[in-house]
Structure 1
Amino acid sequence: METMAARPVPDHVPPHMIGAFNLFDAPGMTPTPHGDPQAAAAVVHDGPPIFYSPGNTRDGRGTWVITRAKDQRRVLQDPETFSSHRAIFASALGEDWPMIPLELDPPEHGKFRSLLNPLLSPKRVMALETAVRERAVFLIDRIAAAGTSCDVMTDFAFPFAVNIFLRFLGLSDDRLDEFVGWANDLLHGDNRQRPAAARTIIAFIDDLAAQRRKAPVDDFMSFLVQSKVDDRLLNDMEIRGTGVLLFVAGLDTVAAAIGFDLNYLARHPQDQELLRREPSRIVLAAEEMLRAYPTVQMIRVATKDIDFEGAPIRKGDYVSCATMIANRDPEEFPEPNRIDLGREDNRHTAFAYGPHRCLGSHLARREIVVGLEEWLKRIPTFRIKEGTAPITYGGHVFGIENLILDWS
């Protein structure tokens, strides 16, 4: 998880507004045994509502950090002032094209969003549910048959999330390990691995698009190459930008959420027992764990100079709306650092907010709930295996690895 050295702080940032905290190397953010990076991020609520954080991106750029959930909502709902076009993926290659629709601003954003919405609608997700559950059952039964402990991320969370994603793309499972490797290199690799992974993923998406143009089947990529926006077929860059987003978003975030959830339940046997006894509570519990353990930092780019809550934000400045900070806001959530699996009325922003709210949130929620239901049904009371320590980390996407569970 290599990041570049922090760049100099711009002259327009008042020295008293510079904070020492960032999501990459503040305490609790670097790979830490038994860590809790979301709780570590919550310490910012003891400070000002907005501050400038040097080195708060993978390439060492600073960002303004918005700590209050209501201020984050203002930013995320105002795409005219705070643009989404950052070319996060393309910039790893020194290029500048958007992941679609995530990095498009209105009105273009709306056209692609309308095109893709039906593919991930609640109705479509219900149709996928049987396949999602079958996959969870297959993987968990295999784990149970193999012994009394496992590495949850490699044996369950990743193969589960990636399989659903492959099914959605219309691809078979035989390249699963390869795709997980690409995703890991891209999201958590060093400055050599990331561009290599990005090129590999682009080549794969471009090649798949070319195949489906020649011989369409009933899958996502065939839908994309046959789709129209403004009465014209999508161009190669638009197909690539959409395919890449789906690839990146579908792989890491759901797997990480399942990992953080099982890590929590392994450490809190009374909550684990409650969900075993009353599985109907799992849906509500999953929402509370999404609130407490979200994984994504959203960054916007100021399109003009603006004074925001006393901060002199200038055109081109990066503005960070980290879900893990908003979701621990004491003004929004009573006792925000207490995990309350019965918490009602949970207005968390784990799936972002505003026009860019996560397109795949319905599918992600079902995957998490089904994964937990089947795990608790099939695996006896589990804990962190003695002598092992899960490693957690912050960054652009928070994660957990080496999560060895034991039920001997």
Structure 2
Amino acid sequence: MATNPVPDHVPPEMVRDFSLFTSPGMPPTPNGDPHAAVACVHDGHPIFYSRYNTQDGRGTWVITRAADQRRVLQDAETFSSHRSIFSSILGENWPTIPLELDPPAHGVFRSLLSPLLSPKRVRVLEPAVREQAIMLIDRIVASGTSCDAMKDFAFPFAVSTFLRFLGLPDDRLDTFVGWGKDLLHGDDKERPVAARTIVAFIDELAAMRRQEAVDDFMTFIVQAQVEGRRLTDTQVRGIGVLVFVAGLDAVAAAIGFDLAYLARNLKDQQLLRSEPDRIPLATEELLRVYPPIQLIRVATKDIDFEGAPIRKGDYVSCATMIANRDPAEFECPNTIDLEREDNRHAAFGYGPHRCLGSHLARREIVIGLEEWLARIPAFRIKQGTAPITSGGHVFGIENLILDWS
């Protein structure tokens, strides 16, 4: 683990040797369970300082209690979202939009984009999403009695859905997935290359849509007006990059962790197979247990927060996977109960920045599980193989070989 210096204002007793990137179960680990590994943080101080807890090696305060995370995420005045995580990889400082905008600008752009991802719009997309799931699963069934669930199903299903939303063909799907993997899970050389490639792609797509409009997301963005003005090139890029990257990894990872759980827990698998009406409720519990995202905020001023001397410029981590294991929030938080009711999980965040794509993501996961369980016989992790899991800003899983022979 990196030994970054601890800022002078951080009390030594509040420093903890923990990182969502490098703690046990976090690095690429065979049969690792990074979500379970974070549960250990609830045994100590509710807020602590980690020397290394971001992709670029910065230290962060780690907020462990769900209620405290909600306070941070709802207070945009004290805890800013503008941290330019993507553009900083390129040595630049423009925000992804609306994720890294603070109010009031955030609300303006969120209002612009919300109708495109509303429950009504998602219902329109749903038949095509289901058709894609069925096509992929039927192809898997026709090819044998095992598959790499991430390569053969989770990634092509989730990413093709988002490409359809963006108005892009999926003939470059594998290329796009590769960019996402390098950006989110790559090393210091791979990340900048992936970031530059994605920016160039978004800029080129925007230029094409300005020249020739079609009925798609990017055309909407380049033609949109905010407060009577067309968006700047940087604003178009900020929106395009966020939406593109958001569709490349998180939903696929969620589906992968869900399938891995069901492969290891045949009783629950059979329950959902025999009573598919339970799948939407079960999906909420699986979102609670296996959320993929860490949220980062930057303090805009000095504040003593629940005993933590947070100072202006400090990074503050609100990891969904930590909030979702909070024993003050959930009874038996490390027990997976597919019938858990009133499941106020944090998988999509809290406050003004709550995930815009949550309606689409939730329906993708439900549809993916419904069609998988309807078409694939009882499945297990193939003997002699082990899924590889990883931590980070977005938790991941790969090499998920499922077998139903």
| Shorter-chain TM-score range | over 0.9
- State the AA in 2 paired with 1:17: M
Give distance in 2, aligned partners of 1:211 and 1:324.
39
Query: Counterparts in 2 of 1:120-159, with a 5 A limit?
Result: 120-159=117-156
2:116 is aligned, of 91, 115, 119, to 119
Q: Over residues 265-289 of structure 1, what are the superposed CA-to-partner deviations in whole Å (9 max), with x where a residue is unaligned? A: 0000000000011000000000000
Q: Over residues 355-395 of structure 1, what are the superposed CA-to-partner deviations in whole Å (9 max), with x where a residue is unaligned? A: 00000000000000000000000000000000000011111
Shift of 1:6: 4.5
Alignment partner of 1:136: what SS?
A: helix
Q: Which residue of 2 aligns with 1:336?
A: 333
1:214 is aligned, of 211, 214, 219, to 211
- Number of matched pairs: 405
State whether structure 2 residue 104 is matched by structure 1 residue 107.
Answer: yes
Shift of 1:5: 3.8
Q: Over residues 78-106 of structure 1, what are the superposed CA-to-partner deviations in whole Å (9 max), with x where a residue is unaligned? A: 00000000101000011000000000000
Q: Which residue of 2 aligns with 1:189?
A: 186
Q: Which residue of 1 aligns with 2:225?
A: 228
Q: Over residues 168-200 of structure 1, what are the superposed CA-to-partner deviations in whole Å (9 max), with x where a residue is unaligned? A: 111111111111111111111111111001001
Q: Which residue of 1 aligns with 2:307?
A: 310
Shift of 1:30: 1.0
Alignment partner of 1:251: what SS?
A: coil
Contact (CA 8 Å) 1:6, 1:62: kept in 2 or not? no
- State the AA in 2 paired with 1:64: W
- State the AA in 2 paired with 1:150: C
Q: Which residue of 1 aligns with 2:238?
A: 241
Contact (CA 8 Å) 1:6, 1:60: kept in 2 or not? no
Worse overlay, 6-15 or 125-134: 6-15
1:204 is aligned, of 176, 201, 204, to 201
Q: Which residue of 1 aligns with 2:60?
A: 63
- State the AA in 2 paired with 1:141: D
Give distance in 1, aligned partners of 2:138 and 2:115.
33
Contact (CA 8 Å) 1:170, 1:218: kept in 2 or not? yes
Q: Which residue of 2 aligns with 1:161?
A: 158
- TM-score for both structures, normalised by structure 2: 0.99
1:89 is aligned, of 74, 86, 90, to 86
Q: Which runs of 5+ in 2 are unaligned?
A: none
Q: Which residue of 2 aligns with 1:252?
A: 249
State whether structure 2 residue 395 is matched by structure 1 residue 398.
Answer: yes
Shift of 1:7: 2.6
2:319 is aligned, of 307, 316, 322, to 322
Identity percentage of aligned residues: 77
Alignment partner of 1:289: what SS?
A: helix
- State the AA in 2 paired with 1:320: S
Q: Over residues 49-92 of structure 1, what are the superposed CA-to-partner deviations in whole Å (9 max), with x where a residue is unaligned? A: 10001111111110000000000000000000000001010000
Shift of 1:32: 1.1
Alignment partner of 1:405: what SS?
A: strand
Alignment partner of 1:334: what SS?
A: coil
Q: Which runs of 5+ in 1 are unaligned?
A: none
Give distance in 1, aligned partners of 2:396 and 2:343.
22
Q: Which residue of 1 aligns with 2:24?
A: 27
RMSD over aligned Cα atoms: 0.7
- TM-score for both structures, normalised by structure 1: 0.99
User: Structure 1 segments of 4 or more deviating over 4 A?
Assistant: none
Alignment partner of 1:381: what SS?
A: coil
Give distance in 1, aligned partners of 2:308 and 2:108.
33
Give distance in 1, aligned partners of 2:168 and 2:245.
16
- State the AA in 2 paired with 1:388: T
Shift of 1:228: 0.6
